[in-house]
Structure 1
Amino acid sequence: MTKDQMTIDTSAEHWENDALPKMREIHTDPDVPGVSADDLPKALGEPVKQKSPAQWAYERIIMYIQNFEKQLDNDHEVGMGLAGGNAGVIRIEGLGYYDPDIVTYYGVNEAGAKTQLIQHVSQLNVTLIASPKHIDQPEPKRIGFRLAEGLERDENVTN
């Protein structure tokens, strides 16, 4: 092994690399756009150990919502399937978190009623669904792209 081939990380670099998020996706269809580590918002490249479980879950959910929306046509918006009871599907209109461990989704259900799901990160289980956009709106609302803008800011997104 030559000097050019060998790299030695300091203890701090090793710790930081270990704390940075890692991800991987494989699909049966190679044309399905997966989430790319190259396209991640700035906030998702920060060390995980600096974040609460709620902030970390919130940021990754945004990434998945945005990627899901990229695959939708103009007649559909992102919706979310809710488990348990007769909750059904809600059209996602907002997403938030409350440190250290709560994530909340805001939206409208299939009957048009305002809906909010409050979920502990240990129970996180979200099904993204292509929901038809409201008949009266010309363009679908893309919440994922608006949410992702917040992850590109230089300031801490928790404030």
Structure 2
Amino acid sequence: MDDTISTAAEAIEADALPRLYEAHCSPDESSNKGPNVPDCIARKPVTQKSPAQWAYERTVLYLRNFEEQLDNEHEVAMGFVGGNAGVLRIEGMGYFDPDIVTFYGTDAEGGRTQLVQHVSQLSVIFRALPKARPGKAPNRIGFRLVEDLEKAQAATS
């Protein structure tokens, strides 16, 4: 317990802003403070978001952060926990209020794939895979998803 005194407005703002904490073994990774939370996500209080929207937004930030660490020869994919479903090269993502998050993409053989998941079961493993199209720019879905969030916020402001 500390002796810090906060105004009611500061307490409400602190409750509304997303908080993040990470610790890493490697000193090189310790400087990674996790995803930078853009205003389009931080502006709306968490208490006004559905579990699906809030899970979607945070997953998008982790996805973008993972992509920032990839070289130009790799793209992001996700592995599945349990079973032999393989991986899904992430090409799209969405949510369906109040509690569903979905991932769209292709599997290792190029077949269309979609994962629909309840937020209470959300468990995502990001994996770096060689680019699907060598010689082309890597697909960076995380950056496009953040741009979509920013456009949506601008349209409602």
- Name the counterpart of 2:57: 59
Could you say what secondary structure the match of 2:28 adopts?
coil
Could you say what secondary structure the match of 2:117 adopts?
strand
Query: Structure 1 residues 152 and 27 mapped into 2: Cα distance closer, same or farther (>3 Å)?
Result: same
- Name the counterpart of 1:3: none
Matched, 1:27 2:24: yes
* Percentage of pairs with the same residue: 57
Q: Which TM-score applies when normalising by structure 2?
A: 0.85
Letter in 1 for 2:105: G
Does the 8 Å contact 1:151/1:157 carry over to 2? no
Identify the range of structure 1 (86-95 vs 135-144) with the bigger mean alpha-carbon deviation: 135-144
C-alpha distance in 2 between matches for 1:157 and 1:48: 19
C-alpha distance in 1 between matches for 2:144 and 2:79: 21
**Aligned-residue offset at 1:35:** 4.3
Match of 1:106 among 104, 108, 119: 104
Structure with more helix by fraction: 2
C-alpha distance in 2 between matches for 1:91 and 1:157: 30
C-alpha distance in 2 between matches for 1:10 and 1:97: 35
Could you say what secondary structure the match of 1:34 adopts?
coil
Could you say what secondary structure the match of 1:90 adopts?
strand
CA distances 1:108-139 after superposition (whole Å, capped 9, x unpaired): 00011000000000000000000111145512
C-alpha distance in 1 between matches for 2:78 and 2:60: 13
How many residue pairs match? The answer is 152
Identify the range of structure 1 (44-53 vs 57-66) with the bigger mean alpha-carbon deviation: 44-53
C-alpha distance in 2 between matches for 1:31 and 1:16: 32
Does the 8 Å contact 1:35/1:67 carry over to 2? no
Give the unaligned 5+ runs of structure 1. Answer: 1-5
**Larger of the two Rg values belongs to structure:** 1
Match of 2:73 among 72, 75, 82: 75
**Aligned-residue offset at 1:8:** 5.0
Letter in 1 for 2:56: Y
Letter in 2 for 1:11: A
Does the 8 Å contact 1:42/1:153 carry over to 2? no
CA root-mean-square deviation: 2.3
Does the 8 Å contact 1:92/1:143 carry over to 2? yes
C-alpha distance in 2 between matches for 1:41 and 1:157: 16
Match of 1:116 among 104, 114, 117: 114
**Aligned-residue offset at 1:10:** 3.3
- Name the counterpart of 1:143: 141
